[in-house]
Structure 1
Amino acid sequence: MIQALKTLCIATSVLLVSQAMLAAKDSSAPDSTQVWTFKQKEHGWTPYRDCTLDVKDNLLQVNSTGKDPHFGRELKSPAGWKKVKVRLRAPNRLRGELYWKTEQKNGYADERSEKFDTRGNNKDWQDLTFVFYADSPLTGLRFDPSSRKGLVEIESISLEDSEPPRSATATPVDQIKLLEGYKVELLYSVPTDVEGSWVSMTIDPKGRLIASDQYGALYRITPAKIGAKTNDTQVEKLNVDMGMAHGLLYAFDSLYAVVNGGDTRPSGLYRLKDTNGDDQFDDVQFLREIKGAGEHGPHAIILSPDKKSLYIAAGNHTDLPNPEKSLVPRNWDEDLLLPRLWDARGHAAGKLAPGGWICRTDPEGKEFELVSSGFRNEYDIAFNPEGELFTYDADMEWDVGSPWYRPTRVNHVTSGSEFGWRSGTGKWPAYYPDSLPAVVNIGQGSPTGIVFGTGTKFPAKYQQSLFISDWSYGIIYAVHMKPEGASYVATYEKFASATPLPVTDLVVNPVDGALYFTIGGRRTQSGLYRITYTGKESTAPVSATPAELAGYRALRRDLEKYHEQQNEEVVYKVWPYLGHADRHIRYAARIALEHQPVEQWQNCVLIEQDPATLINAGIALARNGKPAVKHALLEKLNGLDWAALSQTEKMDLLRLYQLVFIRLGEPTERERIDVLAQIDKSYPASDVFMNRELSRLLVYLNAPKVIERTLALQDKALTQEEQIHYAKVLSSLASGWNNDLRKRYFEWYLKSTAHKGGRSFDKFLVNIRAEAIKTLTDAEEKALKPVLEINLEKAEPVPQGPPRPVVKKWTVDELLHAANNDDGQRNFERGREMFAVAACFKCHRFAGEGGTIGPDLTGVGGRFNAQNLLESIIEPSKVISDQYASTMFILDDGRVVNGRVINLSGKNLMVLTDMTNPSDLASINRDSVEEMMPSKSSMMPTGLVDTLTKEEALDLLAYLRSGGNSKHELFKKKD
């Protein structure tokens, strides 16, 4: 009995001591949970500033007395995810903040806080919940109730361990769509508040991954073995003062880091070594400064195929690092015939050629050599097994809807190549012969990491694929290359995708043959994933065969060897290839020629008889010659038989005339008349893009009646891009107008209010009109005042013509029956016109024209039959392409948003809800999303062909099936 009483007394004492230590902590709660219910005055919370605390009726009375009231308490809680709940009421709306501090960061700061807004003006109880991550044991909480005087009553405050919030967990694998036969694992969800957002990776010799936070440190990851539990993945922060790297590479027994915009160290190339064998990098060498920062700064670094040098890529906000050598002739310039307008929102204003670049250097970074230029913002580069270099270059999404917009594209990076990025309206069309075209256009997106499938344990097709990442849309594409001539053509398919899945980098791990990728960037939630093949196809390694290196690609490489030589013999060796049928051969030969002193070969140009050779050699002479050669070169070009030239030769000649006037000087009056005699009669042409170049050149030369002809083309133009082009070229022309032409020109701007585009689109139209207004006389400006005073950005859209009446609600069966029994000759021009009438050009690119919000339809005729095409047009929701499927977001406030995520920032998803208006985006906070699911409705509207007659609909179908080829058999006269 006595012993039992002793035991009871001891237990009671322990309980009382525990209660005293915890103050008002709920004794029934586990150690990781603390609850304060304020049933007594000893609650442990302390007024810090501008407030008093009291307890009344089991409530904590917080009386704010000044402008910055806050109170808090010291405490102890293990590191990890935490949840704080506060139940309070106040007579007024509260806009406050909860702060926390930890052992590692023992102070209150904005980066360790969560804001709240009670919204309302009543005395009802409100429950606030805060979820955050403590990087080390939690040591204190601070509550800032409001920035106004008054009383706040708090019933309870609780602290407990928590699961990460939805926005703090990497996208679950069950939301990721993969090709059949593949498996994806989430190896690690990166705690954003502690380890940042990972944007680059490399593999060390032990098969471990090294990753860099965009704004922080380096981390080394030992991935769980394939088949093991993913939580066996080990992550450690490297004990070295290095990070903020957009490019990482382990080579030459070193870790190379391309630092981007560091506050504590300059951007550039660094080399890290482990000199004492402790598996940590203790030696950091700064090899080369690369001036540039931010998302268009210095990026990836990779090893050359011969494993003797390094290749580095940088975006268009990055200065060239004074390369000691250059495969690109050092005569780059803007090369714009007519005045350029900078981006209407100021992006990249003042940035000039050469734009984004790729350089090669030695392991010590002592000698840099420029390999290629003219990119917008290529983030990563990769070699295929044959040693050919590729990149995935960015678009300028704010330019969507304009004639100077260029989609994201995969480029074959050959020696001395130029890809024509110029800021604002100055971007070169892909057909300019002084640049090179894309291997394949992808469309809108945000290119990040790329890698070839070499070394993966994948089927042969995917070992040979180039995997490219689209950060904005959350897609990994597999690009399938096929050699064609001296370069490649390609198709692509969606390999992996999810919403959101902001992929930042890709690597192949040679240890396990898996494809690893990270998501993150812009402080979005980061994660590490692994993709393996689980299907039944053979995964035996595939290697390049000698036959694949033969033909035109071998010839191109032989010509490229002369890019590093300066020898009179080079001129005679490359001259026969200047007029070659293959564009890449012509280009390689011209670059070799431009590396030779112009005095050695300029006379060869002036005596050349072959038109193709003369034109390409003439481009080299215009870019390198002195003004004194201008007249002789123009005389030579004017002697060509325009009618006998091929379409390509005509387009190249028009560009050459531009380069002559840009580089060698304005024409004399005699030269102007002679050039007009050569080209003026061809305007307008039957080809849209030839009309673009003719209008550019003829406006510059002030050709007779060029205004009337150009306005006539604008009136009948089927795409907004074509209309805007003509408005832009005429905006700089001051003479040749009359009152009627002026009125007609400026009234077009009122019609342009119906056009839609990217974020800069509307302002670009305003700025183009402003340039045109500068050419007006005072009298003209006064006469046009009513039209000129209209605010284009606020004006109601003006219809371009009366609406077409509905003919009937067509069904697939009706039009399919008509198509199957059609023996007539289809009309190409009317088919193209119906493509515009049905608003297809608004969203889709076809034969180089139109928008890019939807898929490029140029090749659909080769992939789908008439029934498939009609189903896509008439019943767009029947089969929705994964690549362009939208997502349904169900939000916690009851709203439902349908659209495609096209951008991210932190927790915010930017969602495109209307394909016809790409600048109108909805912002969704990930924490407000209750559920996401694939939308069952296509973003493509229905009823687009209901205003078409049967004959018009059949012409549209024929146009789609033709791929834009006016000579297709569908348009030939039937026997």
Structure 2
Amino acid sequence: MPAPPTFRSIAFTLTGFLCLIPLSLQSNAGGLGVTPPDQIRVTDGFAVELVYEVPGKGGSDADGQGSWVSLTVDPQGRLIACDQYGALYRIDVSGDAADVEKLDIEFAGAQGLLCAFGSLYANVNSRDFPSGVWRLTDTDGDDQYDKKEHILPLNGGSEHGPHAMVLTPDGKRIVTCAGNNTNLPDDFAISRVPEVWDEDHLLGRMPDARGHNANRMAPGGFVIAFDPDGGNRELIATGFRNHYDIAFNTDGELFTYDADMEWDVGTPWYRPTRVNHVISGAEFGWRNGTGKWPAYYPDSFGAAVDIGPGSPTGIAFGYDSGFPQQYRNALYIADWSYGNIHAVFLRPDGATYSGEFVTFATGAPLPVTDIAFHPGDGAMYFTIGGRRAQSGLYRIRYVGDEDDSAAPKSDDTAKDLRQLRHRIEKLHTGQPTDVALNLAVRNLGHDDRAIRFASRIALEHHDVAQWIDAALKSKNDRAVIQAAVAIARVGTPDHRGQVLAALGDIDVDALDDQSVIDLTRAYALTFLRLNAGDQVATPSDAQRQQIVDQLNDRFPSGKDNLDRELARLLVFVNADGIVPRVIAQLNDAPSQESQIHYAMILRHRIGDAPAKVQRDYFSWFNRMRDARGGMSFGGFVKNIQDAAAEGLTDDDRQTLASVLNPPVKSDAVAEEARPLVKQWSVDDLAEHVASPGRAFDFQRGKEMFVAAQCYKCHRMGLEGGILGPDLTGAGGRFSVTDLLSSIIEPGKVISDQYGATQFLTDDGRVVVGRVINLNGNKLSVMTNMLDPSSLTSIDRDTIEETAPARNSMMPSGLVDTLNEDEIADLVAYLRAGGRSDHALYAKVSGADASAD
């Protein structure tokens, strides 16, 4: 991973919000036109220029050229772009000015383009033109496409429809992706994904509180491959939400950038936008509403890199660029809503990849739709537009010093593990020999997650009778767990007893935390799938006792992911005393996400609980009134409460009347939860926070992380919000003074990734916030990080001036209700990365306390 880049007017610090060296306000000429290049900030050593301003305000003008959403490079080095709702355009960028022509073929609505096999392939996503993959060919040599063939019909019209295409590394086939509103073709020659997908929720699920995609079920979005004529179709992976683009790296491995559901922010089922390594047969766990699978499930492959809130569009590796070595090897991903291009630095991590990312270019608004690298001039080209927003074509070149960095060294261990994974993945197609099938059985318990995953998928493709005995008799408990997951997915109810007996023999004390999570999932799938009908199988008394004996004493463990899954399974089997223990976690968990999880899994059990437990449970909903999240957040919480209340008797309702229907407290007379102590300065606190003369108190530091509302925007370990930067590693990068400064003076130095913009409108309004959505000329701006569902709409035609905001979106005064000792413990908690076993807590303050 290279060192994070610096920006021309940006420095990185803890708070992660924007504070730039003041720039002069830039006029938008009445709000019209593309974002000027001098308002786009790029990494040092790079320069951005506007190549072409697309006429027509994104398609609202009859003489316009629409809103461009996809790019490709043709064999002659020209770019081809498509309007989201209209025609195709070819752009010659070899001269001083771009030469743009509309292609002379009736065509509309492409959201993916690829020049290959002597043709232009266009993937249409439209309500007005037949959707799916078309092959356009020039049959008479006049440099115009005159023949079109609909080689892969797909349903379209939703923005979660058919999208980008790329060539396979061997140049023989095409791979494409489609979002979760696209139906799978029904004529696959090969499905690397076992065709047994289901919802798989042990305690049920709830649809989106606003009704979005309530009827869309598994398998979700997908990746498929096909021959140049559209035939020999192969399903590669499923379980995506809405990945817009895909790209292969030099190892021949496929990646995509999948979308989040921004309405879910603040809930436990929210998953950030993320880069996924798309391996053979992979499932990534998208389900609608509350049903999205956690990344840690053994039957979901998870993410290579979590990015955060955003709206993924085009992606591309920089191999064809003239960039320095470290940037030439990066994966560039476009975030349409927040106006970012991120550079993702992937590194081998066993048989898969992990990595980090930095913001490479950003602007407001900068609705980036696609990225293409030109092998001729080595520049990055990108388009902005979409949803009829003003469109433009830009170019980024490297203009810095000559690159003298060495190519990254090959990781032979990772290469060997990838090769092993590939050998196992051959079992995802065709009939294996016994020797080959044994390879999968032997690797079910491999230390590498990707190899375990590939091995399980391999077994699921073949008759259970061929491998069940060998897999369940493995001496490796992790292998037995994976085998149980596989049998649950492809077996029959007759296998349930055999699977449960094998799981009961596992030595839980010898398992690591992830393997215990896998065990809870194996049990869940066994009862969900290995049953005679559609209903979840009811455990027998002996089966219930088996699970209680293995797992009951482990809850709570103090480890968030593990506790969530232990609670889910123990509630399912109705372990003795489980409801009051989960209520305790509901009240004590430091993040609202964890609290909501516990409320959700108890919703159908609370009716049988004692009156005091019921009161504790329903009182929690009243405390959640001040919590904030995405657009569906409040509706989700209300729906959970309503579902729980359905289980109450009339007598229960009467007893709980004051809790179920509390008086509405007016904001105007609401008292502060904590009184003002002082408007603190860094100088007031620096000495005491570094050396308070006592041992630091971990629990109080954790509580102050909540009291100061840090958790609403920032993550510490596995808990907290996602709108601000992750603070888990902040203590390793910043001194005590730096941490204090970032808390007390949040606008002093701020990262560009979380930057705000100031908009001045023609009626004198000043709006400060982050652009998170566009539609035509309308900008949706988030103005309050603590209430992300509160948006301000601005008409671009009314904007007079824009500039980077000088003040942070992080509120000031958050620690003014804390005393000196509480602030000292909060900063210690940050320095320790939220770890109670950190050496900081073994020290008594003094000279040593400030040494970390």
State TM-score, norm by structure 1: 0.79
- For 1:220-242, what per-residue CA distance to the aligned partner results, in whole angstroms no more than 9, with x for missing partners? 111143xx3xxx21111101111
Are 2:197 and 1:197 aligned?
no
Partner of 1:946: 816
Task: Tell which structure's C-alpha radius of gyration is larger.
Answer: 1
Q: For each residue in 1:195-244, what CA deviation from the matched residue of structure 2 results, as whole angstroms up to 9, or x when unmatched?
A: 1101011110111111110011111111143xx3xxx2111110111120
Alpha-carbon contact 2:31-2:800 (below 8 Å) kept: no
Tell me if structure 1 keeps the 8 A contact 2:514–2:562. no
Matched, 1:831 2:704: no
Q: How big is each residue's C-alpha offset from its partner over 1:573-632, in whole Å with a ceiling of 9 and x where there is no partner? A: 122221111211211111112122111111123322221111112211221221122122
Query: Amino acid of the residue matched to residue 757 of structure 1?
Result: G
User: What SS does structure 2 have at the residue aligned with 1:657?
Assistant: helix
Contact 1:254 1:271 in 2 (8 A): yes
Of 278, 288, 304, the residue aligned with 2:152 is 288
Secondary structure of the 1:715 match is helix
Structure 2 residue 297 is matched with structure 1 residue 437: no
The match for 2:735 among 856, 865, 878 is 865
For residue 881 of structure 1, the aligned residue among 751, 755, 762 is 751
Measured in 1, the distance between the counterparts of 2:314 and 2:30 equals 25
Shift, 1:751, TM fit: 1.5
Alignment of 1:610 with 2:476, yes or no, is yes
Amino acid at match of 1:863: R
SS of equivalent to 1:634: helix
In structure 1, the partner of 2:331 is: 466
1:210 alignment partner in structure 2: 80
AA in 2 matched with 1:622? A
In structure 2, do the counterparts of structure 1 residues 588 and 825 end up closer, same or farther at CA, with 3 Å as the change threshold?
farther
Aligned to 1:295, the other structure's residue is in SS state: coil
**814 and 440 in structure 1: CA distance in 2 versus 1, 3 angstrom threshold:** farther
Partner of 2:196: 331
Please point out which of 213, 227, 241 is paired with 1:362.
227
Structure 2 gaps of 5+ residues are 1-26, 532-536
Structure 2: distance between partners of 1:654 and 1:802 = 42
Helix, strand or coil for the counterpart of 2:489?
A: helix
> Counterparts in 2 of 1:311-322, with a 5 A limit?
311-322=175-186
1:675, 1:535 → 2: CA distance?
A: 62
- Mapping 1:397-796, distance limit 5 Å: 397-538=262-403, 547=412, 550-567=415-432, 568-665=434-531, 666=537, 667-733=539-605, 736-789=608-661
| In 1: Cα distance, 2:665 partner to 2:100 partner | 56
Once the two structures are overlaid, the 10-residue window that deviates more, 764-773 or 731-740, is: 731-740
Whose strand fraction is larger, Structure 1's or Structure 2's? 1
- 3-state SS in 2 of match to 1:296: coil
Equivalent residue for 2:237, pick from 355, 365, 372: 372
Of 542-551 and 846-855, deviating more is 542-551
Change (3 A) 1:730 1:465: same
**Map 1:118-137 → 2, pairs under 5 A:** none
Call closer, same or farther: CA 1:825–1:631 in 2, change over 3 Å.
Answer: farther
Decide whether the 8 Å contact of 1:198 with 1:211 is kept in 2: yes
Q: Does 1:183 align with 2:47?
A: yes
Distance 1:691 1:546 in 2: 36
Distance 1:672 1:255 in 2: 59
Q: CA deviation at 1:834?
A: 2.0
Residues 832 and 956 in structure 1, CA contact (< 8 A), matched pair in contact too:
yes
Whether the 8 Å contact between 2:428 and 2:458 is mirrored in structure 1 is yes
Aligned position for 2:6: none
Of residues 445-454 and 802-811 in structure 1, the stretch that sits farther from structure 2 once superposed is 802-811
Secondary structure of 1:911's aligned partner: strand
Contact 1:431–1:437 (8 Å) recurs in 2 = yes
**1:237 alignment partner in structure 2:** 102
**Deviation sequence 1:711-764 (CA, Å, 0-9, x none):** 111111222112211111111226531222222222222221111111111111
Which has the bigger relative contact order, CA under 8 A and spacing at least 6? 2
Deviation at residue 681 of structure 1 after TM alignment: 1.8
> In the alignment, is the contact (CA less than 8 A) between 2:285 and 2:294 conserved in 1?
yes
Other-structure match for 1:847: 717
Count of matched residue pairs? 805
> Which residue does 2:167 correspond to in 1?
303
Between the aligned partners of 1:539 and 1:348, the Cα distance in structure 2 is 50
Are residues 663 and 471 of structure 1, via their aligned partners in 2, closer, same or farther at CA, if it must alter by over 3 Å? same
TM-score (norm 2): 0.91
Deviations 1:427-480 (A, max 9, x none): 111111111121111111101000000110000011001111110011111111
Find the residue that maps to 1:883 and give its secondary structure: helix
Partner residue, 1:963:
833
The residue type equivalent to 1:350 in the other structure is N
Give the % identical residues: 50
Check 1:801–1:441 CA distance in 2 against 1; reply closer, same or farther (3 A cut).
farther
Deviation of 1:404 (Å): 0.8
Q: CA deviation at 1:818?
A: 3.9
Residue number in structure 2 paired with 1:47: none
1:141 corresponds to: none
2: CA distance, partners of 1:913 / 1:734:
38
**Deviation digits for residues 60-101 of structure 1 (CA, Å, limit 9, x no counterpart):** xxxxxxxxxxxxxxxxxxxxxxxxxxxxxxxxxxxxxxxxxx
State the 1:861 CA deviation. Answer: 2.9
Q: Give a deviation string over 1:838-874, Cα, whole Å, max 9, x none.
A: 1111011221222121122223233333332222112
Which deviates more from structure 2 when the two are superposed, residues 825-834 or residues 270-279? 825-834
Contact 1:460 1:538 in 2 (8 A): yes
1:799 to 1:296, Cα distance in 2 relative to 1, 3 A: farther
Cα distance in structure 2, aligned partners of 1:918 and 1:747 = 25
Q: In structure 2, what is the Cα distance between the partners aligned to 1:963 and 1:624?
A: 42
Q: Indicate conservation of the 8 Å contact 1:622/1:659, yes or no.
A: yes
C-alpha change, 1:964 and 1:799, in structure 2 (3 Å) is: farther
Measured in 1, the distance between the counterparts of 2:294 and 2:319 equals 33
Q: Does structure 2 conserve the Cα–Cα contact (< 8 Å) formed by 1:403 and 1:725?
A: yes
**Equivalent pair of 1:570/1:593 in contact (CA under 8 Å):** no
CA distance in 1, matches of 2:749, 2:687: 21
Cα deviation code 1:475-520 (max 9, x no counterpart): 1111111222122221111111111000000001111111000000
Which whole-Å deviations, capped at 9, do the CAs of 1:698-720 have from their partners, x for residues lacking one? 22112222221111111112221
Relative to structure 1, the CA distance from residue 823 to residue 358 in structure 2 (aligned partners, 3 Å threshold; closer, same or farther) is: farther
Note the C-alpha offset of 1:541.
10
**Partner Cα separation in structure 2 for residue 823 and residue 506 of structure 1:** 55
Assess if the C-alpha contact under 8 Å between 1:403 and 1:724 holds in 2.
yes
SS of corresponding position for 1:353: coil
State the distance in 1 between where 2:626 and 2:28 align: 46
Aligned-partner SS, 2:608: coil
Amino acid at match of 1:776: L
Structure 2 residue corresponding to 1:387, chosen from 252, 269, 286: 252
The 5 Å alignment of 1:902-917 reads: 902-917=772-787
**Inter-CA distance 494–805: structure 2 relative to 1 (3 Å threshold):** same
The runs of at least 4 consecutive aligned structure 1 residues that moved more than 6 Å come to: 797-802
User: What displacement does 1:906 show?
Assistant: 0.8
Q: CA separation of 1:795/1:579 partners in 2, compared to 1, >3 Å: closer, same or farther?
A: farther
Q: 1:585 to 1:479 in 2, by over 3 A?
A: same
